[in-house]
Structure formats: structure tokens, C-alpha cells
Structure 1
Amino acid sequence: MSGAERMTVLLPEAEAAGIRAAVEAGEYGSASEALGEAVRLWSDSRQARADAVERLRRAWDEGVASPTYGPVSFDDLRREARARLAAARDALGRTDAPHAG
């Protein structure tokens, strides 16, 4: 195995037993394979979280840079949402009114 590094890992007995059981069931050829997949999944999860944070940062920056950035009136938002809902219902040919609230 080129480009690999040997590491010693201590696991709680329940986790070690789970890995041994997976190897014995033929799910993995060895404990190293099972742990390798676990590390890949951990790495993928870390990358997905970093990507999500970056998307959130970009969305935040876009929001702050938008011309509508600033204080927001909840009543105005509600009116706008109801108007959009009514327009969507009109476009679909529905006539039922939105609930008041």
C-alpha cells in the first residue's frame, strides 16, 4: 500500500467489536478497510460541512450587499407572502383564499 502511514488507534470495545463483526460478516476484508472507509466518510462529512459554511458565508455576503439589506417589517413580509400566494393560486386557477392570521 503506497502512500500509507501506519497508525495505532484505540477504540472503545463496542466500536472494536462492531468492526470485527463487520469483517467476520465479509463486509470488509480487514479492520483496516473498515477503518479506512470510516475515515473517508469522516473526511467527506468535514468537507460537506466546510462547503455548507462557505455557501452560507456567500449568501450572507450577498444579502448584506443587496439593496434591500436593513431592517425588515414582519407585517410587510407577511403582506408580500400573501400577495405571492394569491398570485400563485391565480396562476393555477385556484380561488380559495389564504387563511387569515
Structure 2
Amino acid sequence: MSNIQKVSIALSPEFLALIREAIETGEYTSTSEVVRDALRDWKQRRALRELDAEELRRLWQEGIEGGAAVEATPVFKRLRGKYQRLAVSKI
């Protein structure tokens, strides 16, 4: 007994033309193959979005746990001075 079930879907003329073109050019052998491939891509994109969201949550939490924020202006001023001195010393 097969685990495959038939499903009926409604497609716009544009999508139907794309499917037919893919079959006519030999890229796919059937409408089902096109739809299965599209669904695999969709499933993969959904999984990647979830991974991206999890990574963002992890980084956000890491930032929170990293302690209080530091004002950027003095840090950049100190770094500019440091690298200007290094540049002058190499001349």
C-alpha cells in the first residue's frame, strides 16, 4: 500500500504555464514531480527561517547576558587615536 495520496489544487494560468514548460523542456517528467520539488524547497526555506529565528534569539540573549551597554563614541575615539598612532609610527 502506497503512502501517496492524490490532492487537487487550483493554479493560476501563469503557474500552470510554468509547470507545462518545465515538463515540455524535459526539466521534469510530470506535474507531480514539479509540485513535489516546489514543496521540498518550501519546506527547506521554512526550516532555514526557523534556524535564523533561533540564532537571532540566541544572539539577543547573549547580548542581554553580556552586561550593560557601553557608549560607543568614547570607544571609537580611543580606537581612532590608537590606529592613527600606529599609522604614524610606521611611516
What is the TM-score with the length of structure 2 in the denominator? 0.79
Runs of at least 5 residues in structure 2 that lack an aligned partner in the other structure: none
In structure 2, the residue matched to 1:27 is: 27
1:30-41 residue pairs with structure 2 within 5 A? 30-41=30-41
In structure 1, the residue matched to 2:71 is: 73
State the identity %.
Answer: 32
In structure 2, the residue matched to 1:99 is: none
By percentage of residues, which structure has more helix? 2
CA distance in 1, matches of 2:22, 2:43: 21
Aligned-residue Cα RMSD (Å) equals 2.5
Question: For the structure 1 residues 28 and 80, does the alpha-carbon distance in structure 2 shift closer, same or farther, using more than 3 Å as the test?
Answer: farther
1:1-101 residue pairs with structure 2 within 5 A? 2-66=2-66, 69-79=67-77, 82=80, 86=83, 95=87
CA distance in 2, matches of 1:83, 1:4: 68
Question: For the structure 1 residues 30 and 80, does the alpha-carbon distance in structure 2 shift closer, same or farther, using more than 3 Å as the test?
Answer: farther
Runs of at least 5 residues in structure 1 that lack an aligned partner in the other structure: 97-101
Letter in 1 for 2:77: R
What is the TM-score with the length of structure 1 in the denominator? 0.72
Give the count of matched residue pairs: 87
Report which stretch shifted further, 48-57 or 70-79: 70-79
CA distance in 1, matches of 2:69, 2:65: 14
Report which stretch shifted further, 70-79 or 52-61: 70-79
